[in-house]
Homo-oligomer: A and B are copies of this chain.
């Protein structure tokens, strides 16, 4: 079983790396780029087992404990 977890900065949290990428793209001639925000995506391979609700609940735990910094980031889990 596979899962994909998106971890992105919460709205209002400053993203200097995204700002640098936006500035870089504009200076390369892509003036249409108004804002860039950078997040992470975790592709996770899981051993089969358990009902979907349990799998999802354990993935939520993993996000809260390790994958995301809940102070500044939010996450979204997709089962594939």
Contacts and interface: CB of A to CB of B under 8 A. Distances in A.
Interface of A: 6, 8, 18, 21, 24-25, 28, 30-47, 49, 58, 61-62, 65-67
A67 B21 contact: yes
Contact of A38 (B25, B30, B40): B40
A46 B34 CA distance: 5
Contact of A32 (B8, B25, B38, B49): B49
**Number of copies of this chain that the complex holds:** 2
B41 A6 contact: yes
Contact of A44 (B6, B35, B62, B66): B35
A36 B24 CA distance: 30
A38 B25 CA distance: 23
